[in-house]
Amino acid sequence: MNFPRTARYDIVMTRANGLFAKEKITGFPIEPFEIIKNNKWGLVTYSELAEEYGVTVDEIKAAFQSEDGYTIYDGTNHTIAYNDTVSVHGRIRFTLMHEIGHIYMNHLIDFDETILRRSNLTETKYKVLENEANSFARNTLAPVMVVKDLKINSVGDLVTHFDISTSAAKTRLKALTLDYKVLLSQYIRFQRHNFKSFIYTFLHSKKCLQCSYYFVNAEAKYCPVCSSDKLYKSKEKHDMRYDGYELDEFGRAYECPRCGNEELNYDGDHCKICSLIIINKCTNQEMWNGEIQWECGTMLDGNARYCIKCGYESTFYQQNLLDKWEDEKKEKEELLPF
């Protein structure tokens, strides 16, 4: 194969998406150690090598001409060696994805002049392969489309959400424009589709300051459990659950919360047997001459006491099917072991 004159960033993007598809990666941070294990590539640390050969880690670095990592191909399998004495764990993650990049880009198979040793390649050729591996690393650890869709634009947020080092985060930001230019519409479509649920959850997850309830909803202005409007973005999940009823695709309880009757005996919104309203929705409405002039009508989750749009009570709560949130919280906290 002819040696590329410049880095093939478009191919890198295809291979990065190939990795997401093959490893079924749908969220972040990704797990380089898992990927290596799944592919049965060899993995060895610089410390292990140093011990095996009775030399220092510095001597291993010198032998590989690499501070961080190195990949060997023996004709059948790839083995990654990485410097485990590096204290920044995000840097190791980057190194591993960089080495996986060399493997995914077929560098060791396509270019026999390589073996990725700086001295065996001209500086220009070495740079081409390094640029490809670096692009692969940043576009798998924190892909450009995902970063843009999450509206992340600070080093700190990149570090937190993608588990990368500060320096990798800086490079990620700097290379956004470069990477975006390479992104063809089909890559964007793939990534948007593949990470859809992750992006949605990230953008719309909320935690209530008053009752500690965590939920994901794009439209909520009020907490469905306690009606507080003090909602903030949170990564923590489910540290406080509130019981409710399971609902079917039409928002009806699978069985009547009062008499235990099942769906078959439902007549619209009501249970045929006990006439309970079996749909949990907002009760906010305006009446005029005994007729409903306007109603909020927002359909709610099975544990919602209040409307997420207007904060009014829900049908389930009005029918005494759900406990007061304060009571449930107290009861659950008493059960906690600490």
**Chain positions contacting Zn ion, by CB under 5 A:** 133, 208, 210-211, 213, 223, 225-226, 228, 256, 258-259, 261, 271, 273-274, 276, 282, 284, 296, 298, 307, 309-310, 312
d(CA 140, CA 27): 11
Nearest distance from residue 129's CB to Zn ion, in Å? 7
Q: Which is nearer to Zn ion, 3 or 312 (CB)?
A: 312
Nearest distance from residue 35's CB to Zn ion, in Å? 17
- Is there a contact between 95 and 83 (Cβ–Cβ < 8 Å)? yes
Nearest distance from residue 255's CB to Zn ion, in Å? 8
Collapsing DSSP to helix, strand or coil, 155 comes out as helix
Rounded to a whole number of angstroms, the CA Rg of the chain reads 28
Q: Which is nearer to Zn ion, 103 or 307 (CB)?
A: 307
Q: Which is nearer to Zn ion, 61 or 258 (CB)?
A: 258
DSSP state letter for 338: -
- The tokens describing 233, both together, are 């973005």
Nearest distance from residue 142's CB to Zn ion, in Å? 19
- Is there a contact between 148 and 180 (Cβ–Cβ < 8 Å)? yes
Q: Which is nearer to Zn ion, 18 or 260 (CB)?
A: 260
Q: CB 337: neighbour CB atoms within 10 A?
A: 3
- The tokens describing 278, both together, are 């079996």
- Is there a contact between 230 and 210 (Cβ–Cβ < 8 Å)? yes
Q: Which is nearer to Zn ion, 160 or 234 (CB)?
A: 234
Nearest distance from residue 263's CB to Zn ion, in Å? 11
d(CA 59, CA 66): 10
Nearest distance from residue 197's CB to Zn ion, in Å? 24
- The tokens describing 251, both together, are 């928002």
Q: Which is nearer to Zn ion, 160 or 167 (CB)?
A: 167
Q: CB 143: neighbour CB atoms within 10 A?
A: 26
